[in-house]
Structure 1
Amino acid sequence: MNKNGPVILIEDDADDQFLFEQVFRKLNYPNQVRYFPDGQEALDYLLSTTELPFLILSDINMPRLNGIELREKLHRDAALQLKCIPYLFFSTAASQEMVINAYSLSVQVFFIKQTSLDELEKSIYFIMEYWKRCAAPNSF
């Protein structure tokens, strides 16, 4: 885990992207935020970059390659597993089955998207602070 690496945000909804952008700008973390509209574009980036991301924040319901499918592909890739990139879901739709599927793929957290900017800001702050304090096998 690279605590100074970019945050990967996979979100197909332009309004939600805008809200995340506002929150990250306000919180002023030094990490760049890289936006991807679907899982396939994020996968292509993760497979081709030498950059080590800090976190992946992913929606579930997206075109082309949804969040669960993307997580499955990342979970099976040995080289990406060694990068120890925390994978977190943010979704408006949540069911017990979705949450079980997510955790069975070793997703670290499943958040339901907040409806207010203040609540989203609190969640992002908590996430960033939590993961910046964590140690990963490749942190040493």
Structure 2
Amino acid sequence: MKTLSILLIEDDEIETIKFKRVLDSMNIKYNLTLSKNGEEALTILQEENKTPDVIFLDLNMPKMNGTEFLKILKKNAALKYIPAMILTTSNNRTDILECYTIGIAGYILKPLRYEDYKEKIKIAVAYWSNNELIKL
């Protein structure tokens, strides 16, 4: 079984704990890197030379929000093929359209109930665990 490398960009500590809890409940090997905003995530992607298999990110974050991060990510030749999944509370149609225009791999609304959240994350992570991913 391969190890899925995930970068989670999320400024809310509770959301980070929830995400980790879901991963721990799954029968997968994973490596999770955490970032509190887009600026920090770009530094991680450039400095550590560890390209994640998939990125999950929130839209509403300090310093650099999710869409600003995505625009930079998708213009970078070495990083643009990394699938980026939005994980947010925003169901604003403009946000959704902008993210898909930039080139996201999916848009997940954070449900209020933990069980619903857990189910959505499990499905998304299972999908990327079984997908053929590009490594540059």
TM-score with structure 1 length normalisation? 0.88
Q: Which of 112, 121, 126 is equivalent to 1:124? A: 121
Contact 1:4–1:30 (CA under 8 A) maintained in structure 2? yes
Contact 2:9–2:58 (CA under 8 A) maintained in structure 1? yes
In the superposition, relative to structure 1, how do residues 50 and 5 fare at CA in structure 2: closer, same or farther (>3 Å)?
farther
- Aligned to 1:72, the other structure's residue is in SS state helix
More helix by share: 1
Contact 2:51–2:135 (CA under 8 A) maintained in structure 1? no
Unaligned runs of 5+ in 1: none
Identity of matched residues, %? 26
Contact 1:7–1:53 (CA under 8 A) maintained in structure 2? yes
| CA distance, structure 2, for counterparts of residue 35 and residue 116 of structure 1 | 23
Higher relative contact order (CA 8 A, sep 6+): 1
How much does 1:137 deviate?
A: 4.9
1:47-62 correspondence runs (5 A): 47-62=46-61
More strand by share: 2
Cα deviation, 1:29-70, whole Å, max 9, x if unaligned, reads 211111111111111101122212111000000000100000
Matched residues, number:
135
Contact 1:4–1:54 (CA under 8 A) maintained in structure 2? no
Partner of 1:110: 107
| CA distance, structure 1, for counterparts of residue 65 and residue 122 of structure 2 | 25
What amino acid maps onto 2:63 in structure 1? Answer: R
How much does 1:134 deviate?
A: 2.1
How much does 1:102 deviate?
A: 0.2
How much does 1:89 deviate?
A: 0.2
1:1-140 correspondence runs (5 A): 4-81=3-80, 84-138=81-135
How much does 1:17 deviate?
A: 1.2
